[in-house]
Amino acid sequence: MEKVKFMDMPTEDESRLYLTTIGESEMEAGHAYGPGVRSYYLLHYITKGRGRFQVNGMTYELHAGQGFLIAPDYETTYCSDEEEPWSYIWVGAAGEEMTHLLYELGLSQKNPIFSCSHPERLVNCVHDMLQHRQQTPSDHYYRLSALYRFIAILSEEGQAHQLPASGNSYVVHVMEYVRHHLHEHINTADIAATMNLNRSYLSSLFRSKTGMTLQKYIQTCRMTRAQYLIESTKLSIASIAASCGYEKSDSLSRIFRQQYGMGPAEYRKAFIEKQREKRHVQERPENG
């Protein structure tokens, strides 16, 4: 049976750096997650066993001592090995500062794998965060300090490298622009004009660096935001559609159904029921 300890944090959309989820898991053989998309950065570090991580058409066979990054708005899949199921810790975070920290480490969805030869140090950081779970200023700053220690340990292990070339910088700026303007009617031509770039050049550059078209990236970001708002708010579907750049809720519903297999309202109902069942399990008293 899967053994999990975790905590999900309240959303702080306007913060420069905030934790979204922290935890550790001992997974069953063959247990898989995905295909799925996150709305925040998520770092997994394998403490025992083996598994497989897939993103951008690439498959990575990983083992204890290695970790992998999941970046926002990318579809990923990962699976525990059948013979040596993995255990791992994870830290999820968002905000402009988290983007910068990972950028300095050289981690991205094109280069998502890292390693650490001192697993106990990373595990201690996660345990410290889990032990300071109160929503108080002191615990908030303690968790952030542990997150910085986590990043510092990775930096000591040689993850940091030189800043990428200007082509990558353009792509980073485009991604940031898209995330900050999802509520607007944006397309490749508009973004190219804003960046003072030729449209064809931008399209080719973006695809070569990310493995997807810019228009597909915009749609993926919109679906990720829609999913997040459906799960975390009571906003109407029409309001969510407007927040994601769709003039009509029918447009959102059609694309959402294509990606998730059900409409937004149906998805919200299923999510609420799943959360209710999860709370029931967590509140059930343990035997012994």
The whole-angstrom separation of Cα 70 and Cα 288 is: 38
Chain centroid to CA 27: how far? 20
Contact 265, 236 (CB under 8 A): no
pLDDT mean across residues, the chain: 84
Q: Which residue intervals of the chain bear CATH 1.10.10.60?
A: 166-274
Q: What is the reported pLDDT for 84?
A: 94
Task: Report pLDDT digits (tens) over 48-91.
Answer: 999 999 987 788 999 999 999 999 888 889 999 999 999 999 99
Rg, Å, the chain Cα set: 20
- The pTM of the whole model exceeds 0.85: no
- Name the CATH superfamily, with its identifier, for domain 3-156: Regulatory protein AraC (2.60.120.280)
Average pLDDT over residues 201-220: 86
Percent of the chain with pLDDT over 90: 37
CA angle 142, 176, 34 (to 5 degrees): 75
Of 30, 2, 5, the residue nearest 123 (C-alpha): 5
Residue 9 vs residues 19, 77, 91, 129, 208: alpha-carbon distances, Å: 6, 23, 11, 11, 35
Q: What is the reported pLDDT for 255?
A: 93
Residue 156 vs residues 65, 66, 152, 259: alpha-carbon distances, Å: 15, 15, 6, 40
Q: Which residue intervals of the chain bear CATH 2.60.120.280?
A: 3-156
Q: What is the reported pLDDT for 183?
A: 86
Q: What is the reported pLDDT for 9?
A: 53
Task: Report pLDDT digits (tens) over 142-176.
Answer: 999 999 999 999 988 754 433 344 456 677 778 87
Q: What is the DSSP letter of 23?
A: E
**Which CATH number is correct for 166-274, 1.10.10.10, 1.10.10.60, 3.50.50.60, 1.10.3720.10?**
1.10.10.60
| CB hemisphere CA count around 98 (13 angstroms) | 25
Q: What is the reported pLDDT for 158?
A: 59
Confidence band for 17, pLDDT divided at 50, 70 and 90: confident
CB atoms inside a 10 Å sphere around CB 243: 17
Phi first, then psi, for residue 89 (nearest 5°) are -105, 160
Task: Report pLDDT digits (tens) over 29-59.
Answer: 999 988 888 888 999 999 999 999 998 778 8
Percent of the chain with pLDDT over 70: 87
